[in-house]
Amino acid sequence: MTVRCDVLAVGTELLLGQIIDSNSAWIGGELAANGIDSLVQVKVGDNVARIESQLRRLLEGADAVIMCGGLGPTHDDLTRDAIAAVMGVDLVRDDAVAEVIREMFAARGRRMAENNMRQAMVPVGASIIPQTRGTAPGLICPVVVNGVGKVVYAVPGVPHEMYDMVHRAILPDLRRRSGDDSVIASRVLRTWGESESGLNERLDHVIEQLDGPDTPTLAFLASGWDGLKVRLTHKAPTLAECTVQLDRWEQVVRDELGDLVFGTDDDTMESVVLELCRRRGLTLATAESVTGGLVGARLTAIPGASDVFRGAIVSYATEVKQTLLGVADGSVVSEAAARQMAHGVRERLGADVGLSLTGVAGPDEQDGQPVGTLYIGLVGPGFDEVRHARLPGQREQMRQFSVITALGLLRTELADR
């Protein structure tokens, strides 16, 4: 049967705009990828009566509700109380959960405040989703609405704790309740260099072929400065059958998009660039002005980057560009400056490849160059070039787009060799 699961995000900070509710969007995507309908998402502040009211309202139409947030140790963490009210039961301390919390604090050498024991309070009749990454356990809570059995799931608002519990416990439970023992698998193609509408246009005739029960579905997922994702999802009796179809249609999409596809699934532009350098026995160094070290930060976030990445020179001031990187007098936002920066960092840090970025992030133009101007220098074995780009957005957006643009150009250069 089809199961509908709606989402209730708890936290006054979400209503005030202090935190963007990315958790609900992520949960919605995971539910869709697993063939579970989700029709309503609601945000509610830290007020037990309003949380209870919204939960009751969602349960009128849904078979299940995932509640995200409000499981912390403080007085305004009220999700447990609201669930207990809807269930018509008391909260009781779960001694096993309490012991896990104590052990977590002891292992970290930290004093445990007594209010952390609030996280061990569980509605009578609820099941625990054991906590493996934080102190708050998740909850699986059976409820009866108008004589119909339903379920409420509660997970922490901390994203990595929530991701783990949704994958480990909630999605399998929802699939079991639906009675669907088929397998759903996805393949994500990571792209850069084309707009979402442009990708859609390129793949129009492919999408037309994906309209039968035995073909995957295709969706576009805009991911900001991580690029655009094309997700293929297929449902079949076995994983092997899913894989056959995903392999087939991945190749069809790749044939249409060509070099726009830079990776799959968990690949990032920086992980792909590092692997290309590694395969070719090349080391890399960066000289960054406009990005202020963002390229180096993303590269070093990849485990094992040290065998490729020599380091970065964040040459923000003009005199640093001149004294450390050998940039000549004149505009530091120019083709000449980008090339000199790339040569300079390559020589200074003893790398095979030098990558440089200089530009104007705003809010004002510089050296007669408008906001959004970016020059990228690429110097290495067999190549010595500068690319110019005009990027959109406010200051931070432009800086982040500069990172993936520069790494994308380097990827293309290395992939062609």
Q: Rounded CA gap, 206 and 230, in Å?
A: 12
**Backbone CA torsion sign across 184, 188, 189, 194:** positive
61 plus 92 within the same structural domain: yes
311 plus 384 within the same structural domain: yes
46 plus 170 within the same structural domain: yes
Q: Rounded CA gap, 416 and 38, in Å?
A: 44
Q: What pLDDT, on a 0 to 100 scale, did the predictor assign at position 109?
A: 83
276 plus 258 within the same structural domain: no
153 plus 35 within the same structural domain: yes
Residue found by looking up tokens 């790494």 in the block:
407
Tens-digit pLDDT profile for residues 224-235: 778 999 999 998
303 plus 202 within the same structural domain: no
Domain boundary among 178, 209, 236: 178
**Residue 331 φ/ψ, nearest 5 degrees:** -65, 135
Q: What pLDDT, on a 0 to 100 scale, did the predictor assign at position 101?
A: 86
Per DSSP (E only), the strands in 192-283 are 217-222, 228-236, 261-264
**Token couple for 3:** 């199961």
Here the CATH number for the domain that contains residue 305 is 3.90.950.20
**Backbone CA torsion sign across 38, 39, 45, 46:** negative
368 plus 224 within the same structural domain: no
Q: What pLDDT, on a 0 to 100 scale, did the predictor assign at position 195?
A: 87
306 plus 381 within the same structural domain: yes
Domain boundary among 223, 245, 264: 264
302 plus 248 within the same structural domain: no
Domain boundary among 211, 235, 264: 264
Q: Which of 333, 306, 329 is nearest to 388 (CA)?
A: 333
**Residue 264 φ/ψ, nearest 5 degrees:** -130, 155
Q: Rounded CA gap, 93 and 95, in Å?
A: 6
The CA dihedral of 55, 59, 65, 68, to the nearest 10 degrees, is: -10
Here the CATH number for the domain that contains residue 190 is 3.30.70.2860
69 plus 204 within the same structural domain: no
Total domains, the chain: 3
67 plus 197 within the same structural domain: no
Tens-digit pLDDT profile for residues 99-124: 888 888 888 788 888 888 889 899 99
Per the structure, the complete domain to which residue 71 belongs is given by 5-178
Q: What pLDDT, on a 0 to 100 scale, did the predictor assign at position 105?
A: 83
Q: Rounded CA gap, 252 and 51, in Å?
A: 47
Q: What pLDDT, on a 0 to 100 scale, did the predictor assign at position 367?
A: 81
Q: In terms of C-beta density within 10 A (0-12 exposed, 13-18 middle, 19 or more buried), how is residue 133 classed?
A: middle
All residue ranges of the chain with pLDDT < 70 are: none
- C-alpha of 67 from chain center: 20
259 plus 322 within the same structural domain: no
